[in-house]
A and B are shown apart, each in its own frame.
Chain A
């Protein structure tokens, strides 16, 4: 029978290695009842620590790589960390201020301690943070895993692949699915190119693969898309517009293409597999569903057993309203019986008093066959406060660099399309053709002030 594995960029472990052994060696038992900060550089080490310490530690804080010492200190303080876990590849960190240090590696050592797991463990994730300092969001394994616990559900040959960091909500969902539903997992790395990850995923036999729409646009641009033949392709973390869904359908015609709505605070709300952007009206206001969704003041709110309970820092009680609903700040519009995401509340561009959602304009621009992805933003303007402008990345379809004339033609076509579909103030004042657009560490298009 195929052995289940967790595979990172530099190392791989099979789950059977956990039998009678530990990646934390003699320290595991000392961590009972402690607040543990997992601050490894490699995702694989973090995954091993999570597996080992659930049911043992009182609190696990999942810290994505790249935090400065000052940030780590402030997270450790807010989480009241007793112990910080680093991996063998990390340089020594400022352990005196962070608590005692335990090393976790992808190598296992036999231990004799009983594997008792009776401690209810609090799982703490960091949000990407809209204004700098990330918030610490408290979950439990029950809220994170939800209904994932059926080992037979997907079959032992299921191999998950993900572009997400498994220390963030979207990636953690995939790690838990792989662990709880009997499969394996291939993790990516921020240092790894898309084609390299796709090659590794193909070599691992990936069957189910997830990422943000921005990750997927890069896949479609890379010519590595067809290295894999997945059964299931999933998008979440950003608005999945019709062009990216159609693009994936064309490249993976036999796969289920699903897009999901989830956030660190609100949890996983629903997924859509009908191939269309947005979600059906029937998802909202269902009476007896485990997950209740409602729309207030244009934005979506969620109440379910999958939401987080509170923040550890900042205003603890502000995560949920008194009625238990979590505000997502994602704006939606109902059109012909279907809801469409139109943008984040904080991202609205104000053009002389008229509103414009960048995502709405992007989805029009993205429909042009030569456009791979676009970023719409506000540009300060002395007359109207702001005007709308767009940066556009073209398909690298052939190895032909479009001439200036061709680019001008594409720019004009995009403008015409915008003028036909959008009200005047939403049409970009200028369109710039750029070679790349920045994507954040969590795989989302980098937006100014987002």
Chain B
């Protein structure tokens, strides 16, 4: 599976577990309007670290906060080679 599809699958799975309705997953979807709350994203980030081996948001370097879904996916893709 590509990094992108791993991420999208996990978003769908966590939303289902948390009984939350996901907005359509377009690249320009603002994360804050995705339907997943911060707990949901926290869980997604934890699981993606297990699946992909990286957590792009935990480094102490100036990490840019992702705004859109594309930002979020891009943060992982740039680390997963």
Chain A residues in contact with chain B, CB under 8 A?
Answer: 351-352, 379-384, 387, 389, 415, 419, 424-425, 429-430
Contacts and interface: CB of A to CB of B under 8 A. Distances in A.
Given A382-B55, A424-B18, A387 B46 contact: yes
Nearest to A382: B57
A351 B45 CA distance: 14
Contacts of A381: 42, 45-46, 58
A352 B45 CA distance: 14
Given A352-B42, A387-B42, 16 more contacts: A351-B39, A351-B42, A352-B39, A381-B42, A381-B45, A382-B63, A383-B42, A383-B57, A384-B42, A415-B17, A424-B18, A429-B42, A429-B43, A429-B46, A429-B47, A430-B50
Contacts of A379: 46
Contacts of A419: 17
B8 to A, nearest CB: 18
A430 B39 CA distance: 13
Contact of B58 (A352, A382, A430): A382
Given A415-B17, A419-B17, A424-B18, A384 B39 contact: yes
Nearest to A416: B17
23 contacts: A351-B42, A352-B38, A352-B39, A380-B58, A381-B45, A381-B46, A382-B55, A382-B58, A382-B63, A383-B38, A383-B57, A384-B38, A384-B39, A384-B42, A387-B39, A387-B42, A387-B43, A415-B17, A424-B39, A429-B42, A429-B47, A430-B46, A430-B50
How extensive is the interface on chain B, given as a class?
10 to 19
Contacts, number: 41
Contacts of A382: 45, 55, 57-58, 63
B22 to A, nearest CB: 16
A154 B50 CA distance: 55
Determine the main DSSP class of B at the interface with A: helix
Nearest to B55: A382
B2 to A, nearest CB: 22
A125 B50 CA distance: 43
The 4 A-B residue pairs with the shortest CB-CB distance, nearest first, are A382-B57, A429-B43, A429-B46, A383-B42
Contacts of A383: 38, 41-42, 45, 57
Interface in B1-23: 17-18
Contacts of A389: 46
Given A379-B46, A381-B46, A430-B46, A425 B39 contact: yes
B45 A430 contact: no
B41 to A, nearest CB: 6
A415 to B, nearest CB: 7
A188 B45 CA distance: 45
Contacts of A429: 42-43, 46-47
A388 to B, nearest CB: 9
A351 B41 CA distance: 13
A425 B46 CA distance: 13
A415 B43 CA distance: 13
B29 to A, nearest CB: 17
Most chain B beta-carbon contacts within 10 A, residue among A383, A384, A415, A430: A383
Most chain A beta-carbon contacts within 10 A, residue among B18, B45, B55: B45
